[in-house]
Amino acid sequence: MATRQEIEGYVAEPSETMTVEHKGWLDLTVEADRAKIAKAAMALANFGGGVIVIGFRENNEAGGALASETRPAHIERYGPDAVNAAVRRYARPAFHCHVEHAVHPVSGNEHTVIVVPGDHLTPIMTGRDCERIVGQNKVYVRKPGPMSEDARTPEEWSQILDRCVRAHRDDLLDAFRTIMAGSVAPAPLPAVVNDPLDGFIARAEERWAALNANCPADAPTRFPSGGYDIAIAIEGDIEPSTLPELMQKIETAHNVKLTGWPAFLTLNRQPLAPHPVQGAIETWLGFEAAEDRRFGDPGHQDFWWISPEGLLYMKRGFQEDGLPDVDPGTLLDFSLPIWRTGEALLFARRLGAELGDPTRVRFKFRWKGLEGRYLTSVDQRRMFHDNRYCRGADVVEVQGAATIQQIDDNLAEVLFPVLRPLYEMFDFFPLAQQGVAEEVARLRERRY
């Protein structure tokens, strides 16, 4: 589940990817500007969904960095009706976008964030022309650059059709889950002697401790109220990579972003950008003091390592501990453990495809600082009729394994048995497989 903070992250930390596009201010009373919004939305929809952030321009004097601009007086504040009217005017079939607004932390300018859905059952095609911008009967896609252009090559059409087939397949799998809930056995965990993942975890944790050595005990980077760790080993035919090659592969795997603050997040400005350390690539977002950053709460103080051998490790504080008017250490959101672990496995699956020919993924998850928290639904999409409280268990550790095919087709079934012990610590909360499947579907479709 992406929160309000993550929507704000698109504005506070502007960075264009294959699933995030930044545009200058467009006047939605002008036909050409309506076509530009529609073209961008159609390209993202055919790519699997994404986000359009309005009100930024490239600053050539700052090396092409995205600069926040004030909305011109003659342009009205974007509303969902105006945005979706522009999309409906050009898109066939039409689809609905979600519209949010967020303020840039430095300029104070308000920007519009348009969330474009993915996983459509058919390719999105243009229904009319707009000279020099949109051509009728075109299917626009996202291409490296990044940019939005019509699909022309067999490879580009194959990617579009594969996504549509997957959307149909996901519908069928959801139907099977409803009929046969609980009938899919969890993947057996293979026995590993002298597990290299354990050694990698130990080295990474030593590095994290060293980075925090001079930080106060209550610093957000130390996660004083708790947090969670995600460790993953990608197994199979992994090709050797130099660290620069590995960084390129990480960036390619991040071309698909399912939330505003994804697992193994990369930022492109120093000192927060990834860098080589001890034969791995590292990111630590604690280099800047909390008062100097828009997001100084524990849920945005990531630390991660990724090695060329396909080993991944990430530490992050609880996002719930940064909510306004909420005491740290008191809440655990129902959706977030499913979203964060599922997103991490999907990222590992994409990275594995860049590293070689992976066959399976092993993973270890750990949550610390659980005692004294209540299980809740922060966005109130789920109703909790009684208080589910965690007492007597501050740490939960789980592990599992899945084939690449299981991550592609049965992610909910992979996560359900693994996450169940976490939820049971909250007064025996009965996690349902259907509930996990619903959250996984929302994650894949970027339904914030």
Q: What pLDDT is recorded for position 150?
A: 85
CA gap 442, 448 in Å, rounded: 7
Q: What is the pLDDT of residue 142?
A: 87
Computed over every residue of the chain, the mean pLDDT equals: 87
Q: Which residues pair with 403 in a beta bridge?
A: 360
Query: Which has the closest alpha carbon to 95: 66, 53, 125, 71?
Result: 125
Task: Round to whole Å and give the CA distance between 325 and 184.
Answer: 41
Whole-angstrom distance, CA of residue 220 vs CA of residue 319: 11
Could you report the per-residue pLDDT of 1-54, keeping only the tens digit for each?
A: 446 767 888 898 888 888 889 999 999 999 999 999 999 999 999 888 889 999
End-to-end CA distance of the chain: 6
Domain residue extents for the chain: 4-171, 197-444
pLDDT in the model for residue 167:
61
Give strand ranges (E) for 30-182. Answer: 50-54, 56-59, 65-68, 91-92, 98-103, 110-116, 125-126, 140-143, 147-150
> What's residue 447's pLDDT?
67
pLDDT for res 404: 92
pLDDT, residue 62, reads: 59
pLDDT of 297 reads 85
The residues with which 426 forms a beta bridge, in sequence order, are 390
Cβ partners under 8 Å of residue 357, min gap 6: 236, 237
CB-based contact 340:230 (threshold 8 Å): yes
**For the chain, which ranges sit under pLDDT 70?**
1-3, 5, 60-64, 166-193, 288-295, 385, 447-448
Q: Is the Cα torsion angle 320, 338, 402, 399 positive or negative in sign?
A: positive
What's the CA dihedral at 161, 407, 344, 141 to 10 degrees? 0
Does the structural domain 4-171 have CATH classification 3.30.420? no
